[in-house]
A = this chain, B = another copy of it.
Amino acid sequence: MRDADSKIEEVLDAVVGGATDRTCPPLLARAVRYAVFPGGARLRPKLCLAVAAAHGDDDPRLSAAAAAAIELLHCASLVHDDLPCFDNANERRGKPSVHVAFGDQIAVLSGDALIVLAFESLGQAASECLAPARLSSLLSITGRAVGMPFGISAGQAWECEPTVDVSKYHRAKTGSLFVAATCAGAAAAGGDAEPWTLLGERIGEAYQVADDIRDATSDAETLGKPVGQDQIHGRPSAVQESGISGAVNRLRGLVQEGVDSIPACPGGDLLKLLILEEAKRFLPKEMARRAAA
């Protein structure tokens, strides 16, 4: 996926660079770049591009914009999640979180501005693309993934309720953006989005399980953020439910179910291989090595 990696950084650079030029308030500009670069694993945009490629990717500029928009929305959610009124997390990706480095005001504004930029940049790409009509379906897909009632904002809001359906919570808070990644990849390439929902759901669940495993077994230095948070915040976790090895088995099963759900398309077989390969990185290296042995 080296090509996809550099394509993603390139389009994020262009989109974020354009919005944070010399005309932008300097602190906001720095904070937004800090929130996006250097990135994490860029799993969601990679998944989006991989599905677009499997579908023929006849409009690479639009699929790249969709992938970037999804990553920007992800970064926005991390910035707001880390705020003192939510997780009050001091570290993210191995450095001080945005509100620690730039203050709460700039952190709130960076998240807002990243959400806006995601949608604005989709519109920009669509204005120059082959089939501008694809834009409305990309908007629906990405909006649904981060808004109400099923997206990230809703997922986070379930944390404020006295009772929560845990799987509904995870679907909204984590799964939704993976579903957006697979569906937007198909839609950007002119395909039907709906058959790609299940792949996104299963990869999202697998990622959530991997996150639980990392939170329970890793150290803060490896992870670049505080560990043991599920236990501290009393959050449900796959590790609590079924132990480490149970959780690892569940993760593998979910990835396999996702891969099995891939609809027939020209690049389907290659996509399966890519996903199985990428999913190995969900776990800490040492654990993946042990699991593979």
Measured CB to CB, the residues of A under 8 A from B are 19-21, 23-29, 32, 76, 80, 83, 85-86, 103-106, 108-109, 111-113, 115-117, 119-120, 122-124, 126-127, 132-133, 135-140, 143-144, 146-151, 153-154, 156-161
The 8 Å CB contact of A108, one of B108, B124, B140, is: B108
Query: A156–B24 contact, CB under 8 A?
Result: no
Query: B136–A124 contact, CB under 8 A?
Result: yes
Minimum CB–CB distance from A23 to chain B (whole Å) comes to 4
Interface centre among A20, A109, A122, A146 (most CB of B within 10 A): A109
Q: A115-B116, A132-B132 are in contact. List 6 more A-B contacts (CB 8 A).
A: A25-B160, A26-B161, A27-B157, A28-B157, A116-B148, A123-B137
Q: In the bound complex, how far is the Cα of B18 from the Cα of A143, in angstroms?
A: 13
Contacts of A115 in B (CB 8 A): 112, 115-116
Q: Name 22 interchain pairs, CB-CB below 8 A, sorted by A.
A: A19-B148, A21-B149, A25-B160, A28-B148, A28-B153, A28-B157, A85-B108, A105-B156, A105-B160, A108-B108, A109-B160, A112-B146, A113-B147, A113-B151, A113-B154, A116-B151, A119-B139, A120-B144, A123-B143, A127-B140, A132-B132, A135-B135
